[in-house]
Chain A
Amino acid sequence: MRAARWTWPGALGVALVLALVLGLVMMREDEPVAAHAARAPPSAPRPPAPMPMAAPPDDRAARRGRLLEQVRLLDHTYCSYLLHSRYPHASRPAGHHPDQLYPNRPVREANPMRTEGGDSDPAVSLQTSQSRVYLAAGESVRFSLRAADAQGQPLALVVTRALAQGMTYGASRPAPRVTLAFSNDDDDDDDGKGAWNGVLTPSGTPLAGFHGTIRLEVRYSAAGRQGIVLFDVIHSPILPATWAGAPREAVGADALQFALPLSVRMAGRYIVSGRIDDATGRPFALATFNEVLGEGAQQVRLDVHGKLLHDGAPRLPLRLRDVEGYLLREDADPDRLLLPRLEGEVFASATRRLDGVPDTEWQSEERSRYLAEYAKDRNAARARLAASDPAAPLPPADCAQPAADQ
């Protein structure tokens, strides 16, 4: 519940709840997720059928209604999987990953001012940003905060203290503290008038060797009150591997491949992602790599699946940008050591035509297994529905290709 809300007459809410409990609320049609993504091969998955919330009265019509809902759910499960597994998990349309496309944009938040006494002041909105959440060795993170009133007009704010400290638990030795300087003299910042900014570079401080969450506690005054805000960044003190040369491009068995040489110091599971833009700079695909690598010279392969290219028909040549990744330390805390971030354009493809790039759907044991099981469930549900009333028609069984897909 929200404090101080404006609501329509309560009867509307009651009606909606009743409709929901009866399972009558239909889910809306979906739309492509990222409007700015290049020609959206295929849109985000479409919505499922409504979920039964409770067993309806045990009469024949209700039972058939329940069976019908099951058929719709399982039809949708099968058809959406069939449609969207045309491309491998490691090579997906950009529209499926809308908040993964610009990983180096700052995280911006706005919350009511939190006062030092633990209360909050909803009349003052504290607007904050931090340039990163995860921080590789040698990287910096920029913090910003400003205050605004309920109408969005800037309020005077002064940072009085900013202290960064590594978070430790139990018997661990307390981590060092670092005082951070904040100022409001940055004329070209994009955080708005009256913003105060500070930059933390752990490598130049006693926090250089700290692995884990660094919490920055900022105390400030605004609107005549003393406030506090917390920023967290997760710092990696060492690089588990380093990029080792220029990427190369090749047409593989089912994809256009970008291979990035990596010199691995620490073996393990590496998770890497890269963004693929079309020639106009619009996001086209997200490519990911998730494999175990041994020590030494290795390759991180970021693929753009052939069928995805043919279906989406992006304007060529493609560009690979903003590559980031980490060594995942299984069952450990902190769980990762970050690779050096590759910001901006990393590689410009020389491929200008799709001739020779395969145009076949992704096939794998995993896909076959899922489709077989989902088809089995779907057929069983349809059989149960047919048995409940042999004279009644069944819903169409074919998986229609959504027009909004292209």
Chain B
Amino acid sequence: MNKKHSLCALCLLALAGIANAANYTLWINGRNSGGTPGNYGDFRYWGPASTPAGVNKQAVNWDGRSSVASQSGRVRDALDCFCTGQNWCYIAAYSAGELLFGYTLANFGGSTRAIRHTSANAAGVCGDAGGVQTGWNIKWVRTAAGAAGGSELANAGAWATSEPLVQDLKVSTARAMYNHHNTRNIWFYRYAGARGTVYSFLLPGQDDEVVAYHSSGGAAGSAGRSLCNPGDWFCDDLTYGSARNQGGSVKWSWHAVAFRDDGEDIGHYGDANWQGIVGVVREAVAVTAN
């Protein structure tokens, strides 16, 4: 091989390296099942797969009923596939999916990960690409009705107690399960709906029918609290950004409210068609995850 050919080979190698670096958008579902676990192309839980929802979108499907701890491996597999080496990820987590992701990041975010390529087997596990790194490559997280702070519906026994996940969603349990401030300096942008009516007698403050603002808005503490939209004289406001809420309650560090449903128009459920708070997050992700 002459000198010119050698240089071209180096160029190709360099180009190949650049071409291999990509961004991915991971969608982590909430309670109830939908897509097949391990099949990153199965978006049945969310809606039509043709709908724009961020660059190279992947569905991180889990069964939506088992305990967070037992399903964390599904998330770790996906993060290993798409968020190691030269690849970086945007994360969208819905409802209990935030509890699952937050638990995984807090407990395993500093662990040594094998760098993987992005071709997954049927179980959602990708092969080794060589090398290791600390944690994953994550640019930001957006949460739709994030349930990392639990739901009073689990407290009250409103859901079937045959699901281990319901135990995890009890407010005091969800909040004690891991250190929610430990995001490894990665921002969580939070989207909170407020069109709840049916369970308003159980859920404090504003809610989307499943998750109250104290959780979807990322309020810290070992218990829930009442947080509302501006204008309610007897309830503290959930504030935008990472600022303290009215009344002095603080949010988890690295968590910021990006959407508060002042019009009380946005419900919890996506109805497998990118609806409700899922739709609000999808719009934001489609614009910013590229």
Binding site for B on A (CB under 8 A): 1-3, 5-8, 12-14, 16-17, 20, 25-31, 33-34, 44-48, 50-55, 66, 70, 73, 77, 80-81, 84-85, 89-90, 96-100, 105, 107-109, 111-112, 114, 120, 122, 130, 133-134, 167, 169, 213, 230, 232, 234, 269, 271, 273, 288, 290, 328-335, 364-366, 369-370, 373-374, 377
Contact = CB atoms under 8 A, between A and B. Distances in A.
Given A31-B243, A46-B242, 17 more contacts: A13-B230, A13-B231, A16-B263, A20-B262, A33-B253, A48-B241, A55-B287, A96-B253, A97-B181, A98-B220, A107-B172, A111-B152, A269-B107, A271-B107, A330-B73, A334-B69, A369-B133
Given A334-B69, A369-B133, A1 B196 contact: yes
B70 A331 contact: yes
B96 to A, nearest CB: 15
Contact of B179 (A28, A134, A273): A273
A51 B170 CA distance: 30
B256 A27 contact: yes
B284 A53 contact: yes
Contacts of B269: none
B135 A366 contact: yes
A368 to B, nearest CB: 11
A124 to B, nearest CB: 12
A90 B176 CA distance: 19
Contacts of A66: 287
B134 interface: yes
B70 A77 contact: no
Contacts of A330: 72-73
A120 B158 CA distance: 12
A328 B139 CA distance: 26
A383 to B, nearest CB: 15
B179 A100 contact: yes
B200 A7 contact: no
Contacts, number: 231
A145 B264 CA distance: 33
6 contacts: A1-B197, A2-B200, A2-B232, A52-B284, A133-B172, A232-B170
A106 to B, nearest CB: 9
Interface string B32-75: 00000000000000000000000000000000001101101100
A6 B242 contact: no
Nearest to A31: B244
B156 interface: yes
B230 A169 contact: no
A6 B184 contact: no
A48 B256 contact: yes
Contacts of B157: 230
Given A6-B234, A30-B241, A100-B181, A364 B170 contact: no
Interface string B154-185: 01110001101001001111011001111011
A377 to B, nearest CB: 7
Interface in B197-256: 197, 200-202, 204-207, 220-224, 228-235, 239-244, 250, 253-254, 256
B152 A6 contact: no
A14 B231 CA distance: 12
A77 B187 contact: yes
Contact of A108 (B72, B161, B223, B230): B223
A373 B137 contact: yes
A48 B66 CA distance: 34
A97 B253 contact: yes
Contacts of B167: 167, 213, 232
A271 B195 CA distance: 39
A10 to B, nearest CB: 9
A167 to B, nearest CB: 6
Contacts of A85: 185
A50 B257 CA distance: 9
A28 B237 CA distance: 13
Given A30-B241, A33-B253, A12 B206 contact: no
B182 A89 contact: yes
Contacts of A73: 288
B210 to A, nearest CB: 13
A108 B176 CA distance: 13
B224 A109 contact: yes
A262 B288 CA distance: 47
B134 A365 contact: yes
